[in-house]
Amino acid sequence: MILGIVGGMGPLATCELFRKIIELTDADKDQDHLHIIIDNNTKIPDRTDYILDKGEDPRIEMTRSIIKLETMGVDYIAIPCNTAHYFYDDIKRYTKVKIINMIYETAYFLKENNSKDKDYLLLSTEGTYKAEIYDKTFNDLGLNILTPDDEDKKTIMKWIYGVKSSEFNISLQEFESLVNKYMKDKDIPIIIGCTELSVLVERIGLTKKYFDPMTILAKRCVELGLK
């Protein structure tokens, strides 16, 4: 089985998915690892800008990457970008190859493995919030998405673009101060709903209970690759 990764959204997040897949693979030698082809397509326009009516349509370049990967012989495809899943139904029509849906995999994983929690605080791009990418999938499985206020959404967006610029000047105290406002005296789990935030929370050592869709995606890539 050959895994294809539609990368470039952004490059550091793509690298992080690749690293997680390697670390999650039970391997004793090179040959035990997955065969992976990455198309780090940095020409894909910003997904949030398009959803907010401020930028170009990213579906053309995303589709090009998918077709390119299929031509190169991949058996399944992963997309390490939460916001890009807004276009999932549009782009999957252009390939016969299975595209893993990170949003569904996350909701299903939580339903099966974390049944005591129903509410989740989503940290993501403004595009993901506006498009309600997580809401419907989670609601269908009896789970509920909580979102920050508009001011905090903009703060989170600054963090995300900071990571894209390789800037990690966010402290653990600053990060947890924001999320604490939405805990409502409860330990509400956090969904790290942006792959740049996945990189950030590992750097700062987030102590709150959280689930990382990119880690869940990486585990699923390994499971499918070893079948």
Q: What's the pLDDT tens digit per position in 71-101?
A: 999 999 999 999 999 999 999 999 999 999 9
pTM flag (> 0.75): yes
Share of the chain above pLDDT 70, in %: 100
Cα–Cα dist 124/51, whole Å: 14
Q: Please check the confidence at residue 12 and state whether its pLDDT lies above 90.
A: yes
Residue 182 confidence class, pLDDT cut points 50, 70, 90: very high
Give yes or no: 15 in active site.
no
Please state whether beta strands 76-78 and 119-124 pair in parallel, antiparallel, or not at all (unpaired). Answer: unpaired
Q: Please check the confidence at residue 166 and state whether its pLDDT lies above 80.
A: yes
Q: What is the DSSP letter of 52?
A: T
Q: Please check the confidence at residue 116 and state whether its pLDDT lies above 90.
A: no
Q: Please check the confidence at residue 114 and state whether its pLDDT lies above 90.
A: no
Distance from chain centroid for Cα 189: 16
Q: Which residue, among 67, 75, 130, 120, has the nearest Cα to 100 in the 3D structure?
A: 75
Cα–Cα dist 11/13, whole Å: 5
- Provide DSSP, 158-200: HHHHHHHTT-----HHHHHHHHHTTSTTS---EEEESHHHHHH
Give backbone dihedrals phi and psi of 193, rounded to 5 degrees, phi first: -85, 35
Catalytic residue from among 44, 81, 188, 201:
81
Q: What is the mean pLDDT of the chain?
A: 96
Q: In whole angstroms, how far apart are CA 161 and each of 2, 46, 134, 169, 176?
A: 31, 11, 21, 12, 18
Q: Please check the confidence at residue 103 and state whether its pLDDT lies above 80.
A: yes
Give yes or no: 221 in active site.
no
Catalytic residue from among 3, 133, 188, 194:
194
167 Cβ partners below 8 Å, 6+ apart? none
Cα distance between the two ends of the chain: 8
- C-beta separation of 123 from 156 below 8 A: yes
